[in-house]
Amino acid sequence: MTSPSFSIAFHIGAHKTATSHLQRCLSKAFEGLAAEGVRYCGPQYFRQRRHAIHGLFGLRTGTNPKVARRSPTDQLAIIRKDGHRLVLSEENFIGPLNDPQGQPVAKRYEKAGAHLTSLAHAIDHDLDIFVSVRRPTAYLNSAYCQMLLGGLILPFDVYKAHNPLSSIDWFELIGQLRAVKGVGQVVVWRYEDYTQVYPKIIAGLVGQAQLPHIPWVKRTINEGLSAAAVAQVLADSADEDAAQLGYTARGALPVGADYPAFDGYTAAEHAAGDEVYLAQLAAIAALEGVTILRPDPA
């Protein structure tokens, strides 16, 4: 049952919204946070063999039930140790960034609510949810580059047809999460505001008192691909092993003054995506129990 002396915050992503940077900052402060009763558990733990959240807690979603070695209560106690605040971070929990085979995606994160419902029921404890959203065209540009880095090579026109802007509905995602029984507050921020609202994110996750102890690490963790690097990957993909093409091209043709970042969208497509994005943000702001973190006025 929910204990007033123990709370849980779950940063669930989304992908390509500076999740790795936030996780790196929290990891750097792991020992200091633990000394203050705040336990942080992120991808370094959850992506080890047999440590995925679904398996650890025996979550049953769809037709693929997981068998846990321990009860969810015991597993939670192991992760929590003696802490009064547990902070989880794992963006893969709500679904993959891309379809593993490059197949069409009608709606991203469509099972996020079901996954979270399963977790909340298993641990029988309230959770506060933290999630970032991003401009759709920029999100898909970044997701495409990540797919190339993963060794799955498709022309961008094919990727764009399989992943339309309509596949990104942040309002629908936040609505799913907000509707889960056992969810307390839902805290949302725009990726575009990340640097400015970073102190507010940290304060919400671990407490205002811990803010001075969380280091700001180098901003770019997972660098994307330049337009030249993408062109090189596509040109070489027929003759070479695709697994390393993206990383090789990124090293040879890095994003910078000489090599602009890849952008597969026209100005009109960006504008259309931005219009929908702003409408989704306005709808999210109107949801009860949802807080959008915004930069302080200049």
28: domain CATH number is: 3.40.50
Q: Is residue 234 part of a domain?
A: no
What's the pLDDT at 2?
53
Work out the number of other CB atoms within 10 angstroms of the CB of residue 150.
Answer: 14
What's the pLDDT at 69?
74
Q: Is residue 71 part of a domain?
A: yes
What's the pLDDT at 66?
54
Q: Is residue 124 part of a domain?
A: yes
Q: Is residue 195 part of a domain?
A: yes
What pTM did the predictor assign? 0.94
Cβ pair 178, 172 in contact under 8 A? no
Q: Is residue 37 part of a domain?
A: yes
Q: For the chain, 298 residues long, give each residue's pLDDT as a single digit of tens.
A: 456 689 999 999 999 999 999 999 999 999 999 999 999 999 999 999 888 999 899 886 555 555 567 899 999 999 999 999 999 999 999 999 999 999 999 999 999 999 999 999 999 999 999 999 999 999 999 999 999 999 999 999 999 999 999 999 999 999 999 999 999 999 999 999 999 999 999 999 999 999 888 989 887 677 899 999 999 999 998 777 788 999 999 999 999 999 999 999 999 999 999 999 999 999 999 999 999 999 999 7
| 118/57 Cα distance (integer angstroms) | 9
What's the pLDDT at 1?
47
Tokens found for residue 61: 């979603």
Domain range enclosing 129:
7-141+169-222+289-293
Q: What is the separation of C-alpha 206 from the centre of its chain, rounded to a whole number of angstroms?
A: 18
Distances (CA, A) of 92 to 80, 193, 214: 21, 22, 24
Q: Is residue 79 part of a domain?
A: yes
What's the pLDDT at 60?
66
Domain count, the chain: 1
Characterize 224-241 residue by residue with b for buried, 16 or more Cβ atoms within 10 angstroms of its Cβ, and e for exposed.
Answer: bbbebbbebbbeebeeee
Q: Is residue 73 part of a domain?
A: yes
**Residues β-bridged to residue 40:** 87
